[in-house]
Structure 1
Amino acid sequence: MPELSPKDFDAFMREVTGFTPFPWQRRLLTRVLDSGWPALLDLPTGTGKTSALLVALYVLALDPERSARRIALVVDRRIIVDQVDGFARKVREALCDRERPTCAKVGARLRELSASAGADPVRVVHLRGGIPRDDTWLSAPDQPTLISSTVDQVGSRLLFRGYGVSECMRPVHAGLLASDTLYFLDEVHLATAFEETLMCLRETYSKWPERGGTGRPFQVVRMSATLRSGLQSKDVFGLSEDDHADPVLARRLGVSRRAALELVKTKRASTPAARAGNRSLIAEAACRRARAAAKAGATAIGVVVNRVDTARRAAARLRELDEGEVLLLTGRMRPYERSAIQDALEATAAAGVDRPADARPTFVVATSCIEAGADLDFDALVTEVASLDAVRQRFGRLNRLGNYETAPAWVLAARDQLGKTAEPDPVYGEALRATWDYLGEIAESRDKQQQVEFGLSSFVEPSEERRAKLLPKRNEAPVLFPSYLDMWSETRPAPHPDPDPALWLHGKEAREERDVSLIFRADLCEECDGSEEQTAQVRDALEFLPPLADEAVSVPLRQLQAWLGEDARAWRWSSEGVEAVPVDELRAGATVIVPASRGGLGAGTWDPSATQAVDDVAERATHAGRELAKLRLDPQTLPNALAASVPRPVESDDPEEVEAARLECLAWLTKLADKLDEVPADWRPVLAQISDPKARRVLLVAELKKGERIWRVAVAPPKRALEATTEDAVSVFSGVEVSLASHLEDVRAWAASFARAAGLDPKIAEDVALAGLVHDLGKADLRFQALLRGGDPIRAVAGEPLAKSRQFGSASGRERAARRSGWPRGLRHELVSLALFDASDALRERAHDVDLVRHLIASHHGWCRPWAPTTVDPEPKIVSFEVAGIRAEVSTAALDDEFLNACASRFRRLCRRYGWHGLAYLEALLRLGDHRASREPGARPGAES
């Protein structure tokens, strides 16, 4: 590895951030290298808390055996997660820049930790709403990874109930996040219940000696700029005298942030219409003050309110007045649009950005999503009153760097929320009214206004007794009894009843609305009738372009149900496929697909009153997130410049006519290169790859209605599979034909490599590798071989046994192949693999823990946790295969009740032996080795891809 020492840290920080590190950053590096991470980082806003990620990366480069490969910053605000993701991407860019010599050294050392040749030095992961089969972040457990996530997304995954994550992938997410991971729990006062859950889980495993053989445990570092009662710790790291003497920090800590208090005359509201009217009054008052600030010379004005509806109204009013650029930020935005707004934010309102004096003002209208940690720097602020901690966090975005001589600000309060008989605020409870009262008490009368100083050094702090009334009630998590983890660890199927993980993420009295992920597609019929024909069409469409997190907007379940209508049906997407369900059967965490023509988004934000058709971004999101170029040749989904000329297949099934139509389609695709200037910029990368004459294209014909068919086109990367997953539906239909012998050796090599990098006990690592070598033996069944060849039994007998099929992209085609092949419906090839392993004394003798190897084989598609699917083979067959010079042979009749029931009892024994998450982690290492081998067949660890 290139030489690197703690002395190089200053150069590293300058090359990444452009600034010399603050004293606290140097001290933190020394502290971590000497004695590990502190329990709590107590750092005020504006001091650069997020740079703790850089310290963690640098420590990993210096001492990888003592450091976590996954570094996760978790905060309960979506926009902060987006900003951390943007910061992480800039870090990755710096580590890849040879013009930055210290970064290049750090990057080289981080690259050497991964067995994937040519991999980035660090992987950047943004955990958004859980979407089945959107598991690209999981691909390399040995690669250094920076993760940004909300509490819901990382917490639900950690508790084996990842929101939107398929049953079969739940243990993989849980295992990875509970092992070899360093958690920075940012603004921990916003997530006290999750903090308790993390610490309880960590304490449980600290008393579990056998868990040690399964690698490095997770660590937790709490961070806060807003300490509250009950958050104190014996091991606190904060600022020192050197930090207060630093000229840059001193300016930030001493800046004045004076704000006027303003009461908005609203009426007592008892109906939805009256409450909406009050929100309009708040929005109007906020706009009035924001415009006044702009006229006084402010160029980046923050308008922060407590409700998404209020924010929408304020943004609409400011756009109507057209006095500057308006950026709307809420937690209900589709990530695809949010990323574009994030770019605009960084150009106009981010800390440290140069703003010309003659620039048009930018109004950033937002909800509480920007309260914590957002690196924004407003020169004026209008905020609605909230709890004290929330208000102070919002003021952390005002004159953040101390560069402005004046920065006007206002705190607005609605009269109807302040009376003694007013109902508690749905989000901030009684703390909102108590905070307004306290601000009135400490306010000074200036210029005929009541004004409060919110500067870090000059704010009048309340007493500890008073503070408790000014903050939302601390949400406590229920006790995390082992019995709950027993139930959650049963992932396929989940038990009934199934504890709701939200209680352990947000507390026993949390009132937060539960969300679903909403996807808009333009090629869906207006009405969801659930007919067999329509279901097949929708299933094939989603099979070709599976939904991704970037195109999903998080919507409260109750709002979605009201929007769709109580008697409506909706398409629910899962790893098992798609089904039409009544809206009252939808549950939190579901992925729902609706026609784009229905509306529902305004400026990228969830708006049930919006009726304009939503932009279908499936192709663009797929290319951006998965580097795959796919295209539906459908006028409803293509940009306008291409829709009129799109070719269609002929209605005839005559081979000559079909071939002529195929050639016409290829010619049209090649000509796309000449039309790139005519399409929106975000379409160009997709179309450029599709139109490349050297591209290996896969053409599929999709039937939408009788007599109406379209082409679907995918560009296959060189030597790469189009799909690489262990989800049941598509795992073997990857688009690339791979022999069984080669695949088994590939998986063995990757699983062994991942196990070594994880720091497993050597014997356990060998068992993981052995499971990889034998996991797919059951595919040698000739009926399964016929399935992989389109159902042709003659080709199955004549050809070399396969592990992967060149078929791709059609659930209907796979079903036809299954019927022709004779493969029994529901029979699991992994259970046949287990039976072959059990039948071979020579293979079993190679295992150190035979039960562990058995379980890893049986569970590599997510089953047998604890229950194996019960399927009786009506016509048992003899299956045989030779692996590692050992011939194994068994009859599928061996899959009897005793064989299947043993899976459940074995699973529970292994959970006791290795821990719920320890066992899941071992499964994850094998399954991700399978993913890696499937994606690039023949590319073994360390070999060039």
Structure 2
Amino acid sequence: MSLDLNDFGEFFARTHGDDAPFRWQTRLAERLCTTGRWPERIDAPTGSGKSSVVDIHLFANALHAVGAGARVPRRLSVVVNRRGLVDQHAVRAQKLAELLNPAADDAILAEVAAALRSLRTGQGSDEDTESFVLAMLRGGVPADRRWVDDPSRCVILCATPDMWGSRLLMRGYGSSRYARPREAGLLAYDSAVVIDEAHLNRQLLLTAQRVGELAARTAVRLGVAALQTVETTATPAGSGTDPAAEGVNSDEVETEPVLARRLLTAKPVHWTGMDSWTGRAPSARYLEDLAVLIRDQHKRFGRGIPTGRTVGCVVNRVDTAVKLAALLEKQGLRVEARVGRMRPYDLERMLAEKPGLLTAAGDATTDVLVATQTVEVGVDIDLAAMVTELAPGSALAQRAGRVNRVGESTETEVLVVGPHDPEKVVDTPPYVKDDLTAAYDWVLRRENDPKGLAPLAISHDPAPTAQSRRTLLQRLELSDAHLLSRTNDPLCDQPDLGLWLRDDLDPDQAMAAVVVRAHLPEDDSIALELLRAVPPTDVEAFPCRLGEASGLITRVQLAEDRSRVFLWRGDRFVDDPEIQVRPGDVIVLDDCHPVQVKGVVVTDTSSRPAKPVPIDRLPGIREIILTGDMLDEFADMTAEDAQRDYEDAGGIGQLVPGPLEPTSIDPRLSWIVIRDAKSGTVDEETRQEWTPNKHVFLDAHSEAVANRAFMVGQRVGLAEPLCEVVRHAGLDHDLGKKIDWFQRLLGRGSDDPPLAKSRKRSEYQAKRTRATCGMPTGWRHEQQSVIDAAHALDDGGVTDAWFRDLILRLVGTSHGRGRPGFPHSAAELSSGTTDPRAVTLFDTGRWDTLIERTHIEWGIWGACYLEALLRAADGQCSQEGT
């Protein structure tokens, strides 16, 4: 078959259980596929299918790939201000990825999958058969970086505002400083972002629109479209006359029976006042009062249904959810707790055991789902009824959207609980008194309407929106962008990104994470070596707020046993005796410490130790062999046998912590790591010097990177002159590696041509060679490459000053350094006569001027984007061993 726009309905049905798309979804797909642009706003009530933007993005990219649709952004970011909803969007996208697998026997799915795979430039690994890249950027989990490896691939990013916005601003939380330009460039170009419930993220919306505006100034010259920003709301778009918007038209709802049932079916709402309500930490009496209401709802709406439908309870505090779930379990109900701060491993286990729980299909084995705000948006659950704590009106409307979601039940109820005396409404973090008072008045009005909280009913009586914590929003200025572009400068104080990202400037709203590990050696230095070999991963990270992380650190440091804390920041462990936690940090602890209750980090005395994630669940790890009971199995293994097994398994670096004894495994070894050489755990620094199976010669590697950079540029539609620029930069980016000390580091033979990378060597061998090769401390080959590239450009006749400067900039920043300076002077770079070009560039300030000139000519984010293309080409070739 030949894919065309008329196939969207069939594709959508295949990915939605044979349900046809609503008219507004079809209009949105037609708009994107024919114009290449998303609308500025999507207006769609709760339950009308806003999450379909992911399906539409994939179909539009596939249509373009076969030449039947407009060029559309390759990357779509879905940004939600609820960590649990990021998980849920990722789960939905993962199901799409599974449907679009190479073995798909459905014709339409197979064609879309093949079209999406045809977009990619890199060869990828043998195991990489994905039709698109799915990555999650969520506060409190280590960053997923696969999405930067190939700019030509179709990508879905599920992200929280801070994690996405910090990357757009070149200061990615949890990213290394050298990865920041790549991420910023790829988010600012050939990308779209859908900001769900944008009224809760006004500052981020403004910042995204501003970056798109700044990036658009050079987009035409680059040949690649700037960031498109889409805000979504739950307010219907009336007659649909706004050309900037797309969404549900109220006047056509009744002509679509499925949509009408979802939006018009009554959801009666009732107010219940409680003397035990305080809005603060829950008392035992208050928990029991809530339990009484839940048991009653379960009796009336849950247990009496043949399928045993689940009733829900949504509370405002994590500790309330945890304690209430425990109480209901004691009372004989089958309970699941769903809060935003669960580690992915626990969520995966829960969904594996109860795959229908967080879907419209439901789970008959669950009586009650206790949740926090995490279920307010983006979760397609269909609860029989709900008890919810008083919250701002917009939050209550969203919570009600999870009740009788598909409109198939004639009996349901939403019960809102709060103080018995409305005069006792107080600030209830994270909410303020005025918002709660307005919501109370609104609930009383809706109580008098039989339709209650039905989505279209409340469109005529909109829920009061929570007041912004900020009275003024901050526009990103060019001067701010220039400061942010200094990505590898050790600034005395980092810019406060909250000014451009958050509606709430409370610093404790930022997120860190906690990871627990078993079997860490008692010696701290050896334990740290193990952690460096097997760094924290997203699957094992418990998200938590900065204040909770700090409290946990203090408690662990006062413990009698294993009172140590390891701090992972970006891509390295930080030696920080004070341990001042920052957003995106990951705290690693021994598994003996109590840290959680029901999968949530809790710092009080009720917490318990967490079960570590099994080693075989950590990405990229073939095997970890521990001493103790397991060591006996390997007591007779010779060092040669161990090393051979290690190399056959694709081991990287040294069998840590040191070289094996010549005759047998040293019994002092605490552990041995065998890492998968094809995994994504090989960091970029390692790839600059190491290759799995053979030497890579410099000329061949440079030619391969140049050709790949040109191909990447063509694939993404880069302007033809700039395709030549990135090709030139790829040809020259490693010229500095010809210097003698670097060749000695790589172990070049006396008769061999210059090397770009050497065969794999042990970590011990690499460290010893580095210490004896004569290389200055902190020396970077890119700085030398700039000097050699300047000579090469002269010899090649490249005289256009703008392109010449851009090529040199790309060479110097090809690994994230040089923005805007390098640490060495011309004399320090030289092992002999000082090159006059080096003096001009690095002693008199010419390099700094060149960086600013290219910013002016190509834009700050435009330069980031070009760097990202070159670095992707280099990374692909390095991974392939070419």
Instruction: Give the TM bin, normalised by the shorter chain.
Output: 0.7 to 0.9
Where does residue 499 of structure 2 map in the other structure? 503
Match of 2:339 in 1: 330
- Which residue pairs with 2:117 in the alignment? 111
Name the residue aligned to 2:305: none
Q: Which of 368, 379, 386 is the matching residue for 1:381?
A: 386
Shift of 1:291: 2.4
Deviations 1:162-208 (A, max 9, x none): 111111111111010111012112221221111111122223334x2
Percent identity at matched positions? Answer: 27
Cα separation, partners in 2 of 1:699 and 1:563, compared to 1, 3 Å: closer
1:340 paired with 2:349, answer: yes
Relative to structure 1, is the Cα distance of residues 288 and 120 closer, same or farther in structure 2, using a 3 angstrom cutoff? same
Q: For 1:557, give the aligned amino acid.
A: L
Q: Is the 8 A contact 1:252 1:400 kept in 2?
A: yes
Conservation of the 8 A alpha-carbon contact between 1:158 and 1:178? yes
Task: Name the aligned partner's letter for residue 436 of structure 2.
Answer: L
- Say yes or no: does 1:25 pair with 2:22: no
Listed as ranges, the matches of 1:123-522 within 5 Å are 123-129=133-139, 134-206=144-216, 208-209=217-218, 212-213=221-222, 215-226=224-235, 235-240=244-249, 241-266=251-276, 275-278=280-283, 280-296=284-300, 298=302, 299-324=309-334, 326-344=335-353, 346-353=355-362, 359-414=364-419, 418-419=422-423, 422-423=426-427, 425-444=429-448, 453-459=452-458, 461-462=460-461, 467=464, 476-493=472-489, 495-507=491-503, 509=505, 513-522=509-518
Please give the residue correspondences for 1:533-612 in structure 2 after superposition, counting only pairs within 5 Å: 534-535=524-525, 537-565=526-554, 570-574=565-569, 577-583=572-578, 585-609=580-604, 612=608
Gaps of at least 5 residues in structure 1 are 270-274, 446-450, 527-532, 636-642, 651-656, 670-689, 790-794, 879-889, 939-945
1:480 deviates by 1.4
Residues in 1 aligned to 2:681 and 2:755: alpha-carbon distance in whole angstroms: 16
Shift of 1:856: 0.9
Q: Name the SS for the 1:701 alignment partner.
A: coil
The alpha-carbon distance between structure 1 residues 808 and 873, as it changes in their structure 2 partners (threshold 3 A), is farther
Distance 1:90 1:604, change over 3 A: same
1:931 and 2:875 aligned? yes
User: Which residue is equivalent to 1:943?
Assistant: none
CA shift in 2, pair 1:277/1:253, >3 Å: closer
1:842 Cα deviation after fit = 5.0
Aligned to 1:660: 638
Q: Equivalent residue for 1:631? A: 623
* Cα pair 1:722 1:735 within 8 Å, conserved: no
SS in 2 for 1:413: strand
AA matched with 1:822: G
Change beyond 3 A, Cα 1:491–1:139: same
The Cα offsets for residues 197-233 of structure 1, whole Å up to 9 and x where unpaired, read as 1122223334x2476325221112222225799x997
Q: Which amino acid aligns with 2:79?
A: V
Q: For the Cα contact (< 8 Å) 1:442–1:460, is it kept in 2?
A: no
Name the structure 2 match of 1:885.
none
Shift of 1:286: 2.8
Q: Give the stretch that moved more between structures: 567-576 or 101-110.
A: 567-576
- Deviation at residue 443 of structure 1 after TM alignment: 2.8
Q: Where do 1:522-533 residues align within 5 Å?
A: 522-524=518-520
More displaced stretch, 861-870 vs 549-558:
549-558
Counterpart-to-counterpart distance in 2, 1:421 and 1:260: 17
Distance in structure 1 (CA, Å) of the matches to 2:106 and 2:151 = 27
Distance of aligned partners of 1:493 and 1:844 in 2 relative to their CA distance in 1, 3 Å threshold: farther
Change (3 A) 1:787 1:378: same
User: Which residue matches 1:52?
Assistant: 53
**2:561 matched residue in structure 1:** none
CA distance in 2 between counterparts of 1:460 and 1:454 reads 9
Measure how far apart 1:518 and its partner are: 2.5
TM-score relative to the length of structure 1: 0.82
Cα distance between partner residues in 1 of 2:513 and 2:286: 29
Would you say how many aligned residue pairs link Structure 1 and Structure 2?
Answer: 846
Whether 1:39 aligns to 2:29 is no
Distance 1:314 1:549, change over 3 A: same
Question: 1:28/1:343 Cα in 2 relative to 1: closer, same or farther (>3 Å)?
Answer: same
> Paired residue for 2:98?
93
Q: Give the Å deviation of 1:385.
A: 1.0
1:732 to 689, 697, 709: 689
Distance 1:577 1:44, change over 3 A: closer
Residue of 788, 797, 807 corresponding to 2:750: 797
Partner deviation per Cα, 1:513-558 (whole Å, 9 max, x = no partner):
22223222224467xxxxxx834x2442133112222222222112
Q: Which amino acid aligns with 1:332?
A: R
Which residue type is aligned with residue 191 of structure 2? Answer: T
Q: Distance between the aligned counterparts of 1:81 and 1:704, measured in 2?
A: 41
Instruction: Please list the CA deviations of residues 216-270 of structure 1 after superposition, one character each: whole Å capped at 9, or x if unmatched.
Output: 21112222225799x997622232344431111111112121233222223769x
- Structure 2: runs of 5 or more not aligned: 303-308, 559-563, 660-665
Q: Distance in 2 between matches of 1:902 and 1:336?
A: 51
Q: 1:85, CA displacement in angstroms?
A: 1.3
- Taking the aligned partners of 1:22 and 1:539, their CA distance within structure 2 comes to 54
Taking the aligned partners of 2:241 and 2:229, their CA distance within structure 1 comes to 15
The answer to whether the Cα contact below 8 Å between 2:382 and 2:405 also exists between their aligned partners in 1 is yes
Q: Deviation digits for residues 491-534 of structure 1, max 9, x if unmatched? A: 011544432112211137557622223222224467xxxxxx83
1-side partners of 2:459 and 2:45: how far apart?
16
Q: Is the 8 A contact 2:79 2:86 kept in 1?
A: yes
1:281–1:777 Cα change, 3 Å: farther
The C-alpha deviation readout for 1:37-87, integer Å capped at 9, x for no partner, is 322111111111111222222222223552111122111112221121122
For residues 916 and 825 of structure 1, do their structure 2 counterparts lie closer, same or farther at Cα, with a shift above 3 Å needed? same
CA deviation profile, 1:540-586 (whole Å, cap 9, x unmatched)? 21331122222222221122212221877732224573233234533
Q: Give distance in 1, aligned partners of 2:532 and 2:622.
A: 12
Q: 1:601 to 1:721 in 2, by over 3 A?
A: closer
Match of 1:816 among 768, 772, 775: 768
SS at match of 2:464: helix
